[in-house]
Chain A
Amino acid sequence: MAEASSVSVAFVGSGGAGVLTTGAMLLEAACTAGWNGLLTRSVGPQIRGGEAAALVRLAAHPLECHTDHFDLVIAVDWLNAHRFAAELPLNSRSLVLSDPLGGAVPDFVTAAGARVIEIPLKQMSKASPEWRANMIALGAAARLLRMPDDALPASIAKRFGAKGAAIVNANVSAVEAGAKAVEAQPFEPRLPAPRAHTSKRWLITGNEAAALGALRGGVRFVAAYPITPASEILEWLAPNLGKVGGVLVQAEDELASINMIIGGSYGGTPALTATSGPGLSLMIEAIGLATAAEIPIVVIDVMRGGPSTGIPTKSEQSDLNIAVYGLHGDAPHIVVAPQSVTDCLFTTQWATYLAEALQAPALVLSDQFLGQTLAAIERPADIAFVGERLKAVEFVTPYKRYALGGTGVSPMAIPGTRGGQYTADGLTHTERGVPTSTVADHRAQLDKRRDKLDQFNYGAHWATIQGAGDVAVLTWGSLTGAAREAIAIARADGLEVKLIAPRLLSPPRPKEMAAALANVKRLLVVEQTHSAQFYRYLKAHYELPANTGVLHRAGPLPILPSEIHRVLMTGDAA
């Protein structure tokens, strides 16, 4: 039996077949048994009846991305499976369990040379009215992975316990039937022994982590307009915000949600909204208002394929340009990007802290991959970043809300405070906030807003920098995990590669980046955009080595560690 460093399993079936639940239960059971792993979903736009796949990768160590092939695929049915053929790489060592009632095995499976075994999931499920094909598939997968016998029943009890013992028992017997059906089936890949965990671990999505990070950072007002793939942030906050003294309002559109949080924050309450590309486009004008009027706000953009409606359910990094450059006028603001599911918590918390400290909008560029990936993580440490703005409490007459000097951050009066009355304004204003159109006032306030961001000490959090060597990968956001894994493979091959992944995208950090790139002779930029947005952004703000290659591709296909590794070894990014 070959011990693999990780094992990848896909459950395939049309929307409504329950494959996403199956994937989540396998992951949950494996993590409870001590393994680590992640689950991503590949779904079409349909709520029911479209294609769906739950993609699970398990290992002893924590994982941040998928690898280049799936070891096991269980298809409840193959309806529209060709639509995600590209997202389901197989090879001759892959085992595919296919229900003969689920349609013909697609060409991409047979072309890969995968071993296909028939398993009559639907037929078997008829043995009991409470059995479902997806639960039988779950049992089969757990057995092939040699998971302990008690892992799944515990997970089933947790998930179905509220429905009563009969339902729990029926599901337990369904997974047992699935296990029995594959008992004699050889399956090579074997997970290393699970680790003993002393610290707390969570099973959480990036969207949930971001929401929790916002609360840790002090967000207590949220305005919400639903959009895929950001809604889970808002839906997690809706019942939970009230428990910590906050409030959530559903807005009529994104124009309203962004302006509502500006109003809430103007009133003194740290405020946030979450959206995706189309919503961000609508919010841009008001983000400029928050920049000009110096109102702290946090906007999470869970990026999806664009432009326009694009691919709502799938990931891409192509909102970088609009996030950094989308505002009209010269409008310095903060753009940060989380680098993993875990980091969604830290980065959103940090964004809240930065927004409040700098009285400016902070955009958090997450993406569908991070947002909707369910992963086992170590409980993120409690950190000291709690958003708190500089408030004006004592006043000399007249109060200058936008006073110049110092760090550029001027004390903000909160409504209700006597003597601090001022008008927050999107018009160019004087230090007092009175509209003006003089050259001097315009320049002074532009300088103020630029300097307060530029001169702030962002500390080491501005980027993840790991390793040494004169070869480096420069990437950002959700591709950081894939880059890290590629670098680990390269190290095993004898090539040391440095990782540079800026978490802070705006304002740029030229000095820090120059230091990070100081000894780098060969650089590989990795990003998930069609037009190499990140590379062009880097070229605009930083000095890159002459030998710089770019590995870039539009979503939704993730860039895998093996691809990055290949380019690192061959030097050929084309």
Chain B
Amino acid sequence: MNAESQHVCKPGDYKSDTTPIWCPGCGDYHVLLSLTRALAELGLPPERIAVVSGIGCSSRIPAYTNCYGFHGVHGRALPVAAGLKVARPDLTVVVASGDGDGYSIGGNHFLHACRRNIDLTYIVMDNHIYGMTKGQPSPTTEPDFDTALSPGGTGLRTFNPLVIALASGANLVARAFSGNINETVSIIVEAIRHPGFSFVEVLSPCVTFRPDQKAWKNRVHAAPVGATDDPGRAARRLMTDDGFNLGVLYRGDRRPYQPRVGGTTGDLTELEKEFEI
């Protein structure tokens, strides 16, 4: 729905009065701020937006917005959002997740959401750790990072979500840093506007279990070149970048998946005829 001209919207219109449970200094506060600013910039009425999530620190975000929210079970935000968007294509559906929820327990849905290419915006707040359960390794945790559950580190190579998204068919692939609010706002705005499945990985530091991530602000940098629409070129860039390359990195033009809903209201008795003796 195009309601961008209805009235002037402020980020505060999209915030609820519920106090976040996040630790002071958590990157997710900035993601919430960027999301509400992006929604204000788009001018979408809050009741036309649904924010869907699973479980984890990041997934608390729906209740902190003044949109319709859905806080489901661990790893299943994408299927909930897919069902909602297919049944209600008139809504703007934003999906929020984290690296544990989205890449580990929900990994299979990530592949198929990219492949299905429903018009969703998938924002993953990646802090390379399970924060809510107090510091276990996620698929993006470095192999030598020591935790109680993985003494001495997992020894496993990290998951590259952007490459996976691209290979699985996501229609827009971007990386943002929670601390760069203006840039994150513009990436989210573009991701919501872009048809099909838009994937935005937001590096969002966990100050409690990954205090080392406070240094991320010094490591992130704008991508040296703009987005490409060539998946092969995008793949090479994503495979070889340093993981701190920010911006929209791939922009595709696949047609979104949207079966027609409510187009016909045929008579049920017509369907019965095949059974008549």
Q: Does A443 contact B (CB under 8 A)?
A: no
Q: Does A421 contact B (CB under 8 A)?
A: yes
Asked whether, in the complex, the Cβ of A247 is within 8 Å of the Cβ of B108, the reply is no
Question: What's the Cα separation between A200 and B206 when bound, in Å?
Answer: 67
Q: Does B225 contact A (CB under 8 A)?
A: no
Q: Which of A256-264, A351-359, A501-509, A517-525 interfaces with chain B?
A: A256-264
Asked whether, in the complex, the Cβ of A251 is within 8 Å of the Cβ of B79, the reply is yes
Give the Cβ gap from B261 to chain A, nearest Cβ, in Å. Answer: 5
Question: What's the Cα separation between A496 and B276 when bound, in Å?
Answer: 36
Contacts of A260 in B (CB 8 A): 79-80, 82-83, 86
Asked whether, in the complex, the Cβ of B264 is within 8 Å of the Cβ of A423, the reply is no
Q: Does A161 contact B (CB under 8 A)?
A: no
Asked whether, in the complex, the Cβ of A261 is within 8 Å of the Cβ of B275, the reply is no
Contacts of B60 in A (CB 8 A): 435
Q: Which of A258, A264, A286 has the most CB of B within 10 A?
A: A264
Q: Does A16 contact B (CB under 8 A)?
A: no
Contacts of A143 in B (CB 8 A): none
Q: Does A242 contact B (CB under 8 A)?
A: yes
Q: Does B63 contact A (CB under 8 A)?
A: yes
Q: Does A434 contact B (CB under 8 A)?
A: yes
- A263 interface neighbour in B52, B263, B268, Cβ under 8 Å: B52
Q: Residue of B at shortest CB range from A415? A: B68
Q: Does A57 contact B (CB under 8 A)?
A: no
Contacts of A467 in B (CB 8 A): none
Q: Residue of B at shortest CB range from A377? A: B275
Q: Which of A423-479 contact B (CB under 8 A)?
A: 423-427, 433-435
Question: What's the Cα separation between A31 and B264 when bound, in Å?
Answer: 34
Asked whether, in the complex, the Cβ of A249 is within 8 Å of the Cβ of B271, the reply is no
Q: Does A543 contact B (CB under 8 A)?
A: no
Contacts of A131 in B (CB 8 A): none
- A202 interface neighbour in B52, B85, B266, B275, Cβ under 8 Å: B275
Contacts of B71 in A (CB 8 A): 423-427, 435
Asked whether, in the complex, the Cβ of A255 is within 8 Å of the Cβ of B76, the reply is yes
Q: Which of A87-95, A117-125, A215-223 interfaces with chain B?
A: A215-223
- B83 interface neighbour in A263, A289, A419, A434, Cβ under 8 Å: A263
Contacts of A421 in B (CB 8 A): 46-47, 66-69
Q: Does A285 contact B (CB under 8 A)?
A: yes
Contacts of B270 in A (CB 8 A): 243
Question: What's the Cα separation between A453 and B85 when bound, in Å?
Answer: 30
Give the Cβ gap from A550 to chain B, nearest Cβ, in Å. Answer: 37
Asked whether, in the complex, the Cβ of A244 is within 8 Å of the Cβ of B265, the reply is yes
Q: Does A170 contact B (CB under 8 A)?
A: no
Q: Which of A40-48, A265-273, A360-368 interfaces with chain B?
A: A265-273
Asked whether, in the complex, the Cβ of A201 is within 8 Å of the Cβ of B277, the reply is yes
Q: Does A212 contact B (CB under 8 A)?
A: yes
Question: What's the Cα separation between A240 and B262 when bound, in Å?
Answer: 13
Asked whether, in the complex, the Cβ of B70 is within 8 Å of the Cβ of A417, the reply is no
The size class of the interface chain A forms with chain B is 35 or more
- Residue-wise, chain B 69-93 has the 8 Å CB interface mask toward A (1 for contact) of 1111101101111111111101100
Asked whether, in the complex, the Cβ of A264 is within 8 Å of the Cβ of B87, the reply is yes
Q: Does A416 contact B (CB under 8 A)?
A: yes
Asked whether, in the complex, the Cβ of A32 is within 8 Å of the Cβ of B277, the reply is yes
Question: What's the Cα separation between A242 and B260 when bound, in Å?
Answer: 8
Contacts of B30 in A (CB 8 A): none
Main secondary structure of the interface of A (DSSP, over half): mixed
Question: What's the Cα separation between A288 and B74 when bound, in Å?
Answer: 12
Asked whether, in the complex, the Cβ of B275 is within 8 Å of the Cβ of A203, the reply is yes
Contacts of A269 in B (CB 8 A): 87-88
- B271 interface neighbour in A215, A257, A413, A425, Cβ under 8 Å: A215
Question: What's the Cα separation between A293 and B72 when bound, in Å?
Answer: 9
Asked whether, in the complex, the Cβ of B271 is within 8 Å of the Cβ of A244, the reply is yes
Question: What's the Cα separation between A285 and B69 when bound, in Å?
Answer: 19
- Residue-wise, chain B 118-140 has the 8 Å CB interface mask toward A (1 for contact) of 00000000000000000000000
- A259 interface neighbour in B46, B72, B91, B268, Cβ under 8 Å: B72
- Given contacts A247-B261, A423-B63, A425-B63, whether A266 and B80 have CB atoms under 8 Å apart is yes
Contacts of B86 in A (CB 8 A): 221, 247, 249, 260, 264
Give the Cβ gap from A357 to chain B, nearest Cβ, in Å. Answer: 20
- Given contacts A223-B83, A249-B259, A256-B109, whether A262 and B72 have CB atoms under 8 Å apart is yes
Q: Which of B45-75 contact A (CB under 8 A)?
A: 45-48, 50, 52, 60, 62-63, 66-73, 75
Asked whether, in the complex, the Cβ of A252 is within 8 Å of the Cβ of B112, the reply is yes
Q: Does A253 contact B (CB under 8 A)?
A: yes
Question: What's the Cα separation between A257 and B82 when bound, in Å?
Answer: 10
30 A-B pairs in the complex with CB atoms less than 8 angstroms apart: A202-B275, A216-B268, A220-B262, A223-B83, A240-B271, A242-B263, A244-B264, A244-B268, A245-B261, A245-B262, A245-B263, A248-B259, A251-B79, A251-B112, A252-B111, A255-B75, A256-B109, A260-B83, A262-B83, A263-B52, A263-B79, A263-B82, A263-B87, A286-B73, A376-B277, A379-B272, A415-B48, A421-B68, A423-B68, A427-B71
Other A-B contacts than A256-B82, A258-B79, 17 sampled, CB-CB below 8 A, are A221-B83, A221-B87, A242-B260, A245-B262, A251-B79, A252-B112, A253-B108, A256-B76, A259-B80, A265-B87, A266-B80, A286-B72, A289-B72, A416-B91, A422-B68, A423-B62, A423-B71
